[in-house]
Structure 1
């Protein structure tokens, strides 16, 4: 799943990263600062991840793309 978030500074980057690491259903993540994108994969409900991220970071989270892989959400 690809999310769009504004990642303006190192603090924001680390806050997002910490929030992702605390979500146990996320298998891997990639934060692309220049493109303002966060990619996550795992067996999770996309809306739940977006809501959790928004609560943890106080930033707008926009779901850009959701890919289904082997019956799991990606």
Structure 2
């Protein structure tokens, strides 16, 4: 497993420790889950925005049933 070092101020460390305790997690688990969830949400928002921009240029939609048939599901 890889290790990543993040430098924070003493007050930031105290806040992070308090948040970890508040959530009942280790500091490592808090930082890992919070960071990954935030990045995944950000990625999803960017992908959705790009898809919407593409839709505005060419507003073609596909009916759910037709899509399922096309995908043979």
> Normalized against structure 2, the TM-score is what?
0.31
Higher relative contact order (CA 8 A, sep 6+): 1
Name the structure with the higher helix share: 2
Name the structure with the higher strand share: 1
